[in-house]
A = this chain, B = another copy of it.
Amino acid sequence: MAKTSAGRYFEDFRIGDVIRHAVPRTVTTGDVALYTALYGPRFAVQSSDAFAQAIGYPRSPIDDLLVFHVVFGKTVPDISLNAVANLGYAEGRFLATVYPGDTLTATSEVIGLKENSSRRTGVVYVRSTGWRQDGTKVLEYVRWVMVNKRDEAAKPHTELVPELATTVDPASLGAACPSIHAAGWDFGLSGAPHRFDGYAVGEKIDHVDGMTVEDAEHQLSTRLYQNTAKVHFNHFAQVRTRIGRRLIYGGHVISLARGLSYNGLANVFHVAAINSGAHVAPLFAGDTVFAWSEVLGKADLPGRSDVGALRLRLVATKDRTCEDHPLRAGHDYEPGVILDLDYWALIPR
């Protein structure tokens, strides 16, 4: 029996398979400090225990995207070690608050399979779930990846392309956000006066600042998440590929863009759901990341007067500023666009 894992190929997946992923991971204030050092986030709830307590949290929760990256990292050895590309996300929901000291595990269910016309690859759809040590679901999301076949002649047992919601129903949001004491929210300390009513559908915000990424930085982050995808770490192998360089984990881009988005979205404190997301183009060390946001929608949360939900498009670019809100040029994305993420986030009312 082979001791090392070569990862699953397309024909190894079956619809309905439920995969329990290794390795459980306790998240600590050490991880929080590294997350701050890597992306510079300034959202007050995650930055300050005192601020979090003033609105009703027992202490600062772990940043939602750090939870996402840790859960995502666990799925890599089983789902995407032989992936060609990470194609998309949908139906992502944050379901419970995670605090320092909590331990995360992950499972994935195979919910779709579709061979590509080339016969050399296929698309695998999984619904991945993150769990807390007490058995509570903390996160759920669908992603689909293009995975190599071991054997071109192999056929999938069943093919199915799942029907996925284009957006998460806002009525289902907010499970990971306790009822907050809105009067305790100090808009001076949080950094901006804008609350739910201050944002309008259609509004576009250039987040202005740029952040250049170094190889050491994305390697530190990706290892922190115990994400083992080879393309991020192995210069020796990458220079022998068409790409020629280490690829930066797409989640690193999401966290950088979310960090930059503080400048314009200072009170948008909680990522509640991921409607859809695409890594439009790769990022490499030495590139500078910029970001802009568009308010795509607004929603009340049933029975809650403390917070409202903004549906936001977060676009990241590389080596291109965003004052003109670059996105599409015809059917394609504009050159320089690297991320197009559609998510729901909470903000005080």
Contacts and interface: CB of A to CB of B under 8 A. Distances in A.
Interface of A: prevailing SS: mixed
B47 A223 contact: no
A116 interface: no
Q: How many copies of the polypeptide does the oligomer hold?
A: 3
A321 B39 CA distance: 33
Interface in A83-106: 101, 103, 105
A139 to B, nearest CB: 17
A209 B224 contact: no
A66 to B, nearest CB: 11
Most interface-central of A44, A191, A230 (chain B CB within 10 A): A191
A151 interface: no
A212 B226 contact: no
A211 B234 contact: yes
Interface stretch (A30-38, A155-163, A175-183): A30-38
A265 interface: yes
Interface stretch (A19-27, A120-128, A164-172, A276-284): A19-27
A22 to B, nearest CB: 3
A51 B236 CA distance: 35
Nearest to A60: B26
A114 B235 CA distance: 42
Contact of A190 (B23, B28, B219, B234): B23
A246 B212 contact: yes
Interface string A215-258: 11101111110101010011111000000001000000000000
A12 interface: no
B212 A234 contact: yes
Contacts of A37: 34, 220-221, 223-224
11 contacts: A3-B264, A4-B264, A20-B188, A22-B192, A23-B51, A25-B47, A37-B223, A209-B233, A212-B235, A214-B216, A234-B288
Interface of A: 1, 3-6, 20, 22-26, 28-34, 36-40, 42-44, 47-51, 60, 77, 101, 103, 105, 133, 188-194, 198, 203, 205-212, 214-217, 219-224, 226, 228, 230, 233-237, 246, 263-266, 286, 288, 290, 319, 321
Nearest first, the 4 closest Cβ-Cβ pairs linking A and B are A30-B33, A22-B191, A24-B48, A40-B223
